[in-house]
Amino acid sequence: MTASAKSIRGSRQGVDYLIAEHKGYELDRNLIYGETSTEIMNSFRIQQSENYTCDKKFFTAYISPDPKDGQKLTDKELKEISHDFMKGIGVNPEKQAYLAIVHTEKNHKHVHLLINRIDEKNKAIKDNFIVLKAQNTVHKIAKERGLISARDIMYKNQENKIMQSKEIKKQIFESHSQVMKIKPQTFSKYMEYMKALGHEMKPTINRKGEIQGFTVNDKKSGQEFKMSEIKREMSANNLAKELKYDLDYKFNSVLDNSRKKQLETSKNKEKSQSLGISKN
């Protein structure tokens, strides 16, 4: 489940979008009358007419359950979730006018809310950090109801990515150790052997044309790392010692070509920027 909210001016066209029959159906309403967008907006405007200072007199929000949860949630549950959500962003659903619409297009059930931001004292309800409030509120609702939270999915994906990266780094180092047992005499040979094992090496060149380090791209996963991230033994300095090869000056043909290409790309980019040229 995910959600967002913001303050808006509100318009008849916006209400037309919400109440379009092909998109879904009305879930709930409070303190408003009318069926057409004009009637609904007039109902809201009457309640807002005594506030002359606030420019954005509406909150608009959406609550989007995970598709698996959306198929199971009843209208009663969606109403309860909508009420809890409004309370979480600082709106009293018993006192504020609102319209709640369920959209069902694309087989993904979600709730749209249009809420009067002007309270019974004709003051605007604060919208500070409303996006964060919406996200925190919907995460809490999901946890309380045993529903899938977008935040939990994000954390899980991050954990999986970290674990995957650790495993790939381990595989790269194992390949490195395997190659070093062969005792390649030049870096081009080292690169060739590593590439054969599925790991492409690329030197990182500074503006002076000096190698600052290396990156390695794992072909299978597409992930790229600095060599020094994997193990200290794989840093540029340590590789230079192992290969008995001066990486700062004695470029072999493979490294020299990489260096020239990177320098040429960098120069072309700087030239384009100086001429005000950008590539889209």
Where do the structural domains in the chain lie, given as residue ranges? 2-148, 165-271
In this structure, of 1-10, 58-67, 185-194, the range with the lowest mean pLDDT score is: 185-194
Burial of 107 (0-12, 13-18, 19+ CB in 10 A): exposed
| Architecture label for domain 2-148 | 2-Layer Sandwich (3.30)
What confidence tier does 25 reach under pLDDT thresholds 50, 70, 90?
A: very high
Task: Give me the phi and psi of 275, to 5 degrees please.
Answer: -90, 0
Structural element, H or E, at residue 39: helix 37-48
Q: What is the DSSP letter of 209?
A: S
Q: What is the DSSP letter of 30?
A: E
Please name the amino acid found at residue 108: H
The edge-to-edge listing of strands for the beta sheet with 2-8 is 2-8, 58-64, 110-116, 98-103, 24-30
Q: Of 99, 87, 78, nearest to 145 (Cα)?
A: 78
Structural element, H or E, at residue 229: helix 227-230
pLDDT digits (tens, 9 = 90+) for 262-272: 667 767 777 67
Q: What is the DSSP letter of 27?
A: E
pLDDT digits (tens, 9 = 90+) for 46-102: 999 999 999 999 999 999 999 999 999 999 999 999 999 999 999 999 999 999 999
Q: At what angle do helices 75-88 and 130-145 cross, to 10 degrees?
A: 140
pLDDT digits (tens, 9 = 90+) for 218-263: 999 999 999 888 988 787 777 767 665 544 444 445 555 655 666 6
